[in-house]
Structure formats: structure tokens, C-alpha cells
Structure 1
Amino acid sequence: MCDNHHDETAPAAGISRRDLIRRAAVLGLAVGGGTLLATGTAHAFDYYHPFTGYRLSGTWQDHLNRGSSGGLDFAMAVGTALPAAGAGTITNIPENGTGGHTVTITHAGGYRTQYMHLSAFSHANGAQVARGQSVGLSGGQPGAPGSGSSTGPHVHWHLITPGGVRVDPTGYTGGGGGGSLPKTSTAQDGVPGTVFWQRAQKWLSIESGYTGPVDGRPGAGTYSALQRNMRDHFGYTGPIDGAPGPNTWAALQRLGARHGYTGPIDGVMGPNSWRAVARFLNEDRWD
């Protein structure tokens, strides 16, 4: 197995992809394989691919070949938390025919993402969820309640446009795995840079409600999500104010202690602290 890492560099100058998508939404252009259908109105097109760490067990074409309207299947153990691809409003559909237990997330602009073959729902109808917040648990065990026509544990994912057309969601998120983040070289040099913070933002978007861009430029939104995660898992008791101090960093060192950090929990981040956190961020699930 290759030890694959990349040097961290500053973001390229010019228009970011996020800005390009927003501008294209106003003009009704196609970006990243997904047609932005708005004309004169910019929709909050802030979606990401929550399943990049799982094996694609059924492609869009596989679904079409067997008469389905399309979808993507990702193999995972029953009971895996399913993060929302974007912020929105929950609608649960129990025993939705062949799809079994289905959760629908209605996003800004009328777009909807759906997850099928769930073993459990996480919220009541009408609940508001943030991007990355769990909306249910995966299922798919044949014959189990909510599995529908599934032949093995997995989740089925697709996007529905405002016009009611089912489409491949990866065209609206920059691709299904082709845009995976590189590993951070902080694990070697102990110096956090752009890729380190991109991976941190990806982690926090999945676990702690971060909804900003994955641009490697940490600000109040990134740090607030970090503080929420530290509060929930690593004993942080300070304010969620987006202004990290020694108590935030001490909690992050406690995370690092689970990944090889053996120094003091003193809230002073040095190369060894950063290396340990980077080893955590380099796990494939944050790609």
C-alpha cells in the first residue's frame, strides 16, 4: 500500500469553484456536470458527497440497466449514520415500496436528496437539519424492516430536481470521488496548512454541522464547529465562539492522544500535536 501524501500549498488565486457555482446559478449555467436550473435567482447549492469513504456497489447505469429511475448504492454496515448532503427539511417515508424506509431532504430551491433502505429515521417530519447532520441509519439487510428490495446492506442515494427529475447527485457536488482530498503532509512535518484545514473542514462538516466551504481557510465557522466537536467528544467546556484558545487546543490534544501524541495536555499546539491530529485527518473517511 502506497504512502500517498502531497505538499500543502496556498489556494490558487482567482475565482473559486464555490464562487463559480454561485455565479452560474444566477446565469442558469451547467457546472461540474450538474445543470443549475435557476434563472435570475441564486440557490444555496451547498451540497457535498457524504459517502466518498464507502465502496460504490451499484452505479447509476447499473440502476438504469435493471429498470430503475437511477441511483447510487454505497455498501456499508447496517446502522451506519447517514449525513445530510446539504441543509434542508426532513420528510420520512416508511416502507416506500422497493426503496423501503426512505428519508427525503428538501433543500433550498426545491432540490431534494433521498436515501433509501434505512433501518431507522433520526428526525420527525418537518425537522430542519444542517449539512453533515445524521438523518437516519443505513439498513438493507434482506428481509429486515425498511429494507425494501435490497439484497445486501447499503444505502441508495439520488437527487431530484425542482422539476421532479431524478439525477446523479455527484454531478452537483463536483464528482463522486474524483474530487477526493489529498492526504495532508502535516503528518510528516507538523506544520498545518491548506490541505490540513480542508480535511478538518470535511471532518467537521460530517460530524459537527460545519456548513462553510472546504477551502482550507479556517475562520469562525470552522473553529466554532471544532469547538462543538471538542465539547461533544473531548471534554471542552468553554464557549462556542469561534475563537479558539488554550482550552480548545487542549481538547484537540486529547484527540491527538488517541493518534500517537504523548506530550502534555497543555493547550500549546506544537509539531507533535499537529502531527497526531493530522494522522486522524488522513483517515480515508475524511477524503
Structure 2
Amino acid sequence: MKTQHIHLIHQEAIVGFALLLLAAVGGGAWWVWQTTTPKSLKQTPIPSRVEKPPVATVPPTVIPYQTQQPAIVTVPPTAIPYQTRKPSVMTVPPTVIPHQTQKPPVATVPPTVIPTPLTTSTPKINQQVTQLQAQTYWLQATDEQIRLVPQEVALKPEDSSEVALKTAFDNLFTSSKTSNLTTTIPAGTRLLDLQVTKTGIYVNLSKEFTQGGGSTSMIGRVAQVLYTATSIEPEAKVYLLVEGRLLDEENPLGGEGIILTEPLTRQQFAQDFAIQA
């Protein structure tokens, strides 16, 4: 028993000495570390272990379980009274416009009287008025020379120039010759058409106009047609056609081959052929 007690004392002494030595060594090491370590490192404590920050625990909210549906507020419908009758319409009496039995008076303006100017009587001067009339031209032979002699044609006052000339040609082709007047136009010649235009007078004859006779006869019949066509307007130009074909250099007249220069005029014809009117 005494031996065990002594042995325990020795063990405690050893443990105390070891602890003292450990504390001395640890204190010296700590002092050395404090003197050699920079202040910035000293101020940052290094935790021995990482611990999670405490988490605030919130107790769960308990929602009571609804065993029944919430009550629904019902609104009673608004009752609209039914109209058994149509709403009353306000009637406006029509406006009565008085009937006018008489027309309103119209202001009459008296007409303006324009005084008649005084006319002075002037003595009339006798002037010779030459009135052109449609004429037919016939041939007259005197001393081996042929002349054209005009004959007046009875016309109506309302006849136009075309109507007057057509009437003159009808008389020329159908009238018989007299003892001193003759014609070289072949029998049966007819006027197919006649037109008075701004460019001239177009005379279209039937094919009988080209038949028979010599050069003198041909010249005489062309002169009769030319002067009869220009009896109303002597300066007019005449285009002579046979069956619609113009008599010109390419289409001479008759077998003798008399060449006509279109359009025909009295002045040019008198220069080309020896004939007088």
C-alpha cells in the first residue's frame, strides 16, 4: 500500500513537470511568434475550425385546414319592371303654311326707250350690178374661127351653186342645136356627178364624152364643159373626169390624144387652144 502511494506521487510529479515544461515551451514559442509576426497578421485571428453561422429558426405557420368551402355572398337580381305598353311619344303638331292663292307681285321695270336716230336722206347713185347666173356655152363658127356663145338658164332663187350648175349641164346635154349655134358633145353624154369644193369644181362625165370626132371637135367639147362649169365663178378651177378617171397627161382625151393640163382654167385654156368666148 505504501509502495503504490509512492508510485502515484511519482506519476503526478512527472505529469506536473511535463505540463510545466510544455507550458514553458509553448509560452516561449508564443513569445517568439508574437515578436516575429507582422501586426497585420496578428490582427487576423485564424479560427481553429470553421463553424457554420447560427441559423435563426422560424417556427412554421400553421394554416388551419378548411374542411368546408368558404361561404359565397349571393346578390339577389335586380328586378326590371316589364313595360306592357310602348313609351309615350311626344307628338309635335305640324306647322300649317298658309296657301298662297295668288302669285306674289312682281316688280315690273318699264322698258328703256332708245331714241331712233335721225336718218338723213342721201341721194342714190346708179350703180351697175353684175349678177352671175348659170349659163350654157355653145359653139359658133365664123370665118373659120370658133367662138363660144353663152345661153342663160332659168333657175330658182333658192338653188345652190351645185344645183344651178347641174341644171345648166342637163340643158347643155339635152337641148337641140339651132341654126347658128352648134355643139360637138356626143349624143348620150351624161353628167354623173358634180361637186363644188374649195379646191375647185369636179365634173364627172360618162364615157360617151370621149367618142367620135377629131381634134377640133375634142377641143370644142372640152371648152363647152369648162366654160359652163365656170359660168357662176369664171376664175374657178375645173377637174374634168370621165367615168371617175381624171383627164390628164397620163389619160389623154380621145383617139387623137389631146392632153389636158389639170386643173383647167379659162385663162390657161385660151392660151393653149385657139378659141374665144
Do both proteins adopt the same fold according to a TM-score greater than 0.5, normalized to the shorter chain?
A: no
Q: Which has the higher contact order (CA 8 A, sep 6+)?
A: 1
**TM-score after normalising by structure 1:** 0.21
- TM-score w.r.t. the length of structure 2 is 0.22
Greater strand share, structure number: 1
Larger radius of gyration: 2
